Structure 1
């Protein structure tokens, strides 16, 4: 099986070439000019960031991509889908308010923001998944499904359910409508360890589906209402809410890969990742913990699988920043097989890439070319 090419640029800058200019050089060297953008709608899929979290990717980089697409005759727009859980991105109006607050507006980025699945997260297109083992029809936000070209612009970071959030997660989970997100999460539902639960109610306040009640000082989850989104797991400060790790996480990773295939199958696509501010948790949180490794740089490729693998390898090789969550976990439990497993021991990020390769999205073997 042939290797894919992944291009890399580090964070160094000089007066003759600042970081944004270097970023532009990276995507040009990686071949973005080879895509026919003329009069094509180009979806730049990214995470707009939950307000309060400042680890999300700065809008300056999206402007570089949007400006390049316009130079090539395309019609770029920034896009994301609404969230499944409570927060400030659960409907299009709040989502747009959040985007503008975080600097994602036409004045900073040079293009508009479109919430792909509409006002309430129900505007979706059903897209067949060729060769899908778990998903036959993915429920994709309509604006993303309608786009002619897909560009993923990803902030690479840790994630409590998938190990890390990379291009596949950005494309797959991020492009699913609310029903699509439910479908990806639905095979596993969390439960509460009452020995650890103190009845603080934080899990209930973060549940968008009224599945959690505090009874006799303890949280209880009604699985008839629960959609398995996992927000309560992240919300609990005492690790009292536990997921069904016996397969649900693996299925989530595989379904997410199949959703990613539905998004890019049959369309020109290009993928960029920023391995900077590598927080241990997702940008969906209204806060971000300290970066667990030093800033590494930017990666670009036509292959999202190779891109994710290259980013993961780079983080694995990076030194651990003292005093961070990763450092705490190493001191507490010892170093794991990789940084992501050390942070989130029950996650299975390899399953995402293995399944993505199996269904034909890309390959994990790559050649890294530094610019």
Structure 2
């Protein structure tokens, strides 16, 4: 396979060109303007940041992408799907509040925010995964699939399960509905915490397979009938229905790649990663640890696999930041992300993505 082109710009700025202008130039040089945006709906997938975390991308970067899309006649919106865990983004109302608190409003970014899988994380589309090994139909947030074009704007950082979070994680895990996220994390079925359950019956009402019964004001799930759709997780008002996090990290990474294939297949897609504030763990945390390496720069490509590989290589080429978690751990893996989270294997995701035809790990880095 021919090498993919990945374009790079550092964070140096001048009086003539600030960072946002440089990002706009990077996107244009990388070929984003070759996409026909005219009157097209454009989903810009971004992580709005869990409240309390300050490592997420500033909304200024989102505005730069929005302005570029608008200048080419597109109709952009910022989007993400609800989280599987309990936090500030588990339903659309809390999610919007969190986005606005963190600065992602129509006034600051120039476009609206749409939570792709709806109020309770149950508004999804079943999308066939061409060539999928683990997933036959991905559960993707409806607004993402309704868009004509998808752009991923990623904060590249570490991750305690995937190894790192970049373009593929932003699209694969990020565009999965709550049930889709459960499918990626779990090989089994959800369970009920009797301590939290109030016996309201919402889970029983939404179950299409009569797998849930209410006894003595407590719900229980018959795993012989349950198909693992996860809709009960979305409707539970007390968060007593929980997924079982029993999938291996390698298989989770492969499922993420398959979900990404479902998201981008059959329509234009473009990917931007900012390697800055490289925290050791995900922006889903309600806190962020010190960056493990110095800021690197901005990357863009049509190939999400090549982009992720280029960002990994760039981070691994950096010195360890003093005072960071990376400085404290043993450096036996010759890989910053594996040193921070030794039980992870980020290569499994990119290797599987390559097999799926998502892209190639071979790339040509072009600095602007």
Q: Tell me which interval the TM-score lies in, with the shorter structure as reference length.
A: 0.7 to 0.9
Q: Helix, strand or coil for the counterpart of 2:150? A: strand
Which of 237, 244, 248 is the aligned partner of 1:228? Answer: 244
Instruction: State the partner residue of 1:354.
Output: 351
Instruction: State the partner residue of 2:360.
Output: 363
Correspondence list, 1:63-142, <5 A: 63-142=63-142
Correspondence list, 1:137-148, <5 A: 137-148=137-148
| Separation in 2, partners of 1:56, 1:249 | 23
Correspondence list, 1:284-295, <5 A: 284-295=284-295
Which of 182, 185, 193 is the aligned partner of 1:210? Answer: 193
Shift of 1:336: 1.9
Q: Is the 8 A contact 2:191 2:244 kept in 1?
A: no
Instruction: State the partner residue of 1:240.
Output: none
Shift of 1:322: 1.0
| Separation in 1, partners of 2:316, 2:195 | 37
Correspondence list, 1:323-338, <5 A: 323-329=323-329, 333-338=330-335
Instruction: State the partner residue of 1:218.
Output: none
Shift of 1:9: 0.3
Q: Is the 8 A contact 2:63 2:109 kept in 1?
A: yes
RMSD of the TM alignment (CA)? 2.0
Shift of 1:353: 0.3
| Separation in 1, partners of 2:324, 2:134 | 37
Q: Deviations over 1:94-116 (max 9, x none)?
A: 00000000000001000000000
Mean Cα displacement is larger for which, 180-189 or 293-302?
Answer: 180-189
| Separation in 2, partners of 1:284, 1:170 | 12
| Separation in 1, partners of 2:131, 2:139 | 16
1:343 aligns with 2:345: no
Gap runs ≥5 in structure 2:
197-220, 224-240
Q: Deviations over 1:197-252 (max 9, x none)?
A: xxxxxxxxxx9963899xxxxxxxx9x865134xxxxxxxxxxxxxx6xx711110
| Separation in 2, partners of 1:130, 1:13 | 43
Count the aligned residue pairs.
327
| Separation in 2, partners of 1:97, 1:34 | 35
Q: Helix, strand or coil for the counterpart of 1:153? A: strand
Q: Is the 8 A contact 1:95 1:115 kept in 2?
A: yes
Q: Helix, strand or coil for the counterpart of 1:42? A: strand
Distance 1:31 1:334, change over 3 A: closer
Q: Deviations over 1:317-357 (max 9, x none)?
A: 0000011001111xxx3332300000000101100000001
Q: Helix, strand or coil for the counterpart of 1:26? A: helix
Q: Is the 8 A contact 1:277 1:295 kept in 2?
A: yes
